[in-house]
């Protein structure tokens, strides 16, 4: 697997947290990164309440095979559910399923190995 030397962090893609970039500005940042040869994107299941992953999925679109997307999965998605956070298999599978849905990609078992799940320590 080959990735660019610099990874584009997308935590600021979206304005749901009261700061960050609107969709148009996020796309400009993404396009500038890609034009310079970038192909490694970092996101998380909870960045801007999921908007970051949604934008990333939309921006990569049909060029998905050109990118490596790292998404963090251990962030808490439901404070009332003890299995909605942490590094156990159940949460990882649930979080990756939700991420893939946000990316609007093929089913998990048919995705290329360039989809990564990353541990995000709290």
Which positions are annotated as active-site residues?
47
CA–CA dist 65, 113 (Å, integer) = 10
For residue 88, give both structure tokens. 């156990």
CA–CA dist 53, 45 (Å, integer) = 7
Nearest Cα neighbor of 29 from 58, 44, 8, 49 is 8
Nearest Cα neighbor of 54 from 70, 43, 63, 39 is 43
């Amino acid at each position: 697997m080959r990735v660019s030397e610099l990874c584009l962090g997308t935590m600021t893609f979206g304005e749901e947290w009261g700061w960050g970039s609107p969709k148009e500005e996020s796309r400009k940042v993404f396009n500038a990164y890609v034009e310079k040869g970038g192909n490694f994107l970092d996101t998380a299941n909870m960045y801007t309440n999921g908007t970051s992953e949604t934008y990333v999925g939309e921006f990569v679109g049909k060029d998905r095979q050109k990118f490596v997307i790292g998404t963090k999965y251990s962030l808490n998605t439901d404070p009332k559910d003890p299995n909605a956070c942490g590094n156990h298999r159940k949460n990882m599978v649930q979080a990756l399923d939700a991420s893939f849905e946000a990316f609007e990609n093929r089913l998990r078992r048919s995705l290329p190995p360039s989809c990564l799940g990353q541990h995000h320590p709290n």
